[in-house]
Amino acid sequence: MDSASAPLAAAPHRLGSEYVRDQLVARTVDVNGKTYRPDGEYVLYWMQSTHRLEENWGLRAAIRTANRVNLPLVIHQGLDPTYPFAADRHHTMILQGARDTARHAEQSGLHYQFVLRRRRDDDRRVVDRLAARAYVVVTDLFPTAGIRDRVARLAERVTCRVLAIDSVCTVPSGAFTKAEFAARTIRPKIAKLLDHALEPVAEDMPRVPVSEALRASLRATIAEGGGLAPLPLPDMSDEAIAGEVAACEIDHAVGPVTSVPGGTEAGLARLSAFLRDDLPSYAERRNEASDGHGTSGLSPYLHYGMIPSARVVRDARARGVSAESLDAFVQQVTTWRELSFNWCVRTPGFDQLASLPAWVQRTMAEHADDPRPAWYALDALEAGRTDDRLWNAAQHELVTQGIIHNYPRMLWGKTVLLWTTSYEQARAWLFHLNDKYALDGRDPNSVGGIMWCLGLWDRPWGNKPVWGGIRPMVTSRAKLKFDVEGYVARVRGTRLL
Ligand SMILES: Cc1cc2nc3c(=O)[nH]c(=O)nc-3n(C[C@H](O)[C@H](O)[C@H](O)COP(=O)(O)OP(=O)(O)OC[C@H]3O[C@@H](n4cnc5c(N)ncnc54)[C@H](O)[C@@H]3O)c2cc1C
């Protein structure tokens, strides 16, 4: 294995524990204010949204705590059939990613266990029972995908402290204590802290091993409520993973995307290919949707935390490309991505219309009754059966490839405002379409992207029917931005799975 893909790879230099402590302070939320359990048997890291071992701040915090109190570390990940839009597509990506994590953990001597609940009525209390034996539960800070609510519920039920830690943002999200007004307000703040946040850290390892006796008792605890057992992931083939997915009580109609395999290894390979082939021309080509290049395709890997954003920025800087391309790319990975995270972490009801600024509320009230130029049922939209070829192509790309290229994605989102009976229907249906099919869906960026279509972080743009002051974008003008015919032809060439 080369050093690029080595788990917990040795960093170029070691930064002292004070640096790590300061970073952790700015990344940690104490979810329940309870105390550490004095007779806890281990520190539990409950992996939820950061599906990797490298540059994982939750894992770093858990290892530091375990070493401070001389306890072993248990890393636990689970997968349920009950999350909204649970389907072969998301399950496959997650399981392939977990296989990488399991292999890396084995190589690094870490204890990692993954429990798959195949049926909806399978035992739901594995984490509760593991937490009941823990000194502290450390988990990921993630405002969407149901994770924040799940953590809050567990934190209430258990008797020990629960800490949630941000591994999403390159600059710790705790550095910004209020919802930022717009990209222009967070950009200079991120710029000021970015170099410091990018410092590589040498990873600590747990000092106290997980004994055979503890391993056996963990298996017993997992099995206690209904016979579940950890999956033997390191040895599983893609076929075995497909077999597990087929056995799950989930939507089998939304199939896997074979061109986007899950895992840290695949994510790092995508990163290398992008940096080599497409980063040099990113500034000029990022809107060009016709050839499937131009942008990185990293959003599914960033969404599942399979690769660290700091690594993406560091490696991009090391390529020595033009300042224009480097800055354009780094702005997406830092400013826009972290603005979305900041919005979701700091805003109550972040995915609801009521959270939008006052001018959007006024515009929506004034234009609520404007006649819409067309209306399509949700299933017509889902099947890409509208009178707009470009929109249909974007929807087809979403359904077949689990993604829409960045520029058509903006048009796709904005157009739905014109085809629904209300702003609320547009909002709800966009979340439905995006989160059901997108491999990067249910992310803070999903919220940022969809709410941006409705005016978030923007200023009023005139006063047009239906749009009111919301920035209009229409598919008929897209040919000024990219080769629309080339895009439609490329996307049409992809099979509906
Ligand atoms: C209606 C709508 C829905 C969206 N839904 C999602 C979603 O579900 N998940 C998602 O990750 N992004 C979403 N976006 C934002 C953006 O379209 C994607 O992040 C981007 O197209 C992903 O492709 P890429 O990785 O090739 O991007 P690149 O251009 O290579 O950018 C690199 C990374 O920067 C981040 N990034 C890029 N553009 C944005 C942006 N506008 N806002 C926030 N972060 C950004 C992403 O993490 C991306 O992977 C949505 C945008 C819109 C308009």
Is position 253 within any domain? Answer: no
**Nearest protein Cα to ligand 1, atom 7:** 446
Is position 305 within any domain? Answer: no
In whole angstroms, what is the distance from residue 155 CA to residue 8 CA? Answer: 29
Is position 116 within any domain? Answer: yes
How many angstroms does the Cα of residue 406 sit away from the middle of ligand 1?
6
Q: Kind and range of the H or E element at 127?
A: helix 126-131
Task: Show the domain range for 459.
Answer: 353-492
Q: Are the beta carbons of 101 and 262 closer than 8 angstroms?
A: no
Domain boundary residue, one of 213, 246, 279: 246
pLDDT in tens, the chain (497 residues): 333 344 444 444 455 688 999 999 999 999 999 999 999 999 999 999 999 999 999 999 999 999 999 999 999 999 999 999 999 999 999 999 999 999 999 999 999 999 999 999 999 999 999 999 999 999 999 999 999 999 999 999 999 999 999 999 999 999 999 999 999 999 999 999 999 999 989 899 999 999 999 999 999 999 999 999 999 999 999 999 999 999 999 999 999 999 999 999 999 999 999 999 999 999 999 999 998 889 999 999 999 999 999 999 999 999 999 999 999 999 999 999 999 999 999 999 999 999 999 999 999 999 999 999 999 999 999 999 999 999 999 999 999 999 999 999 999 999 999 999 999 999 999 999 999 999 999 999 999 999 999 999 999 999 999 999 999 999 989 999 999 999 999 998 765 43
In whole angstroms, what is the distance from residue 453 CA to residue 175 CA? Answer: 27
How many angstroms does the Cα of residue 346 sit away from the middle of ligand 1?
20
Domain boundary residue, one of 220, 246, 272: 246
Same domain, 241 and 358: no
How many angstroms does the Cα of residue 445 sit away from the middle of ligand 1?
6
DSSP per-residue letters across 340-385: HHHHHHH-TTTTSGGGS-HHHHHHHHHHTTSPPS----HHHHHTT-
Same domain, 361 and 234: no
Domain boundary residue, one of 188, 213, 246: 246
CATH of the domain at 411: 1.10.579.10
Residues in the chain, total: 497
Is position 149 within any domain? Answer: yes
Same domain, 359 and 218: no
Tokens found for residue 464: 């047009």
**Nearest protein Cα to ligand 1, atom 37:** 332
* Beta carbon of 443 within 6 Å of any ligand 1 atom: yes
Residue 455 makes CB contacts below 8 A (sequence gap 6+) with: 356, 357, 359, 360, 363, 469, 470, 471
Is position 147 within any domain? Answer: yes
Query: Distance from first CA to last CA of the chain, Å, rounded?
Result: 34
How many angstroms does the Cα of residue 3 sit away from the middle of ligand 1?
28
CATH of the domain at 148: 3.40.50.620
The total of structural domains in the chain comes to 2
Q: Are the beta carbons of 104 and 264 closer than 8 angstroms?
A: yes
Which atom number of ligand 1 is nearest to the Cα of residue 412?
Answer: 1
Is position 338 within any domain? Answer: no
In whole angstroms, what is the distance from residue 267 CA to residue 460 CA? Answer: 38
How many angstroms does the Cα of residue 282 sit away from the middle of ligand 1?
14
* Beta carbon of 265 within 6 Å of any ligand 1 atom: no
Same domain, 229 and 357: no
* Beta carbon of 455 within 6 Å of any ligand 1 atom: no
Q: Kind and range of the H or E element at 101?
A: helix 88-108
Which atom number of ligand 1 is nearest to the Cα of residue 286?
Answer: 29
Is position 285 within any domain? Answer: no
Q: Which of 274, 299, 351, 416 is the best mutation target for the ligand 1 pocket, counting ligand atoms within 8 Å of the beta carbon and taking the most?
A: 299
Residue 153 makes CB contacts below 8 A (sequence gap 6+) with: none
Is position 497 within any domain? Answer: no
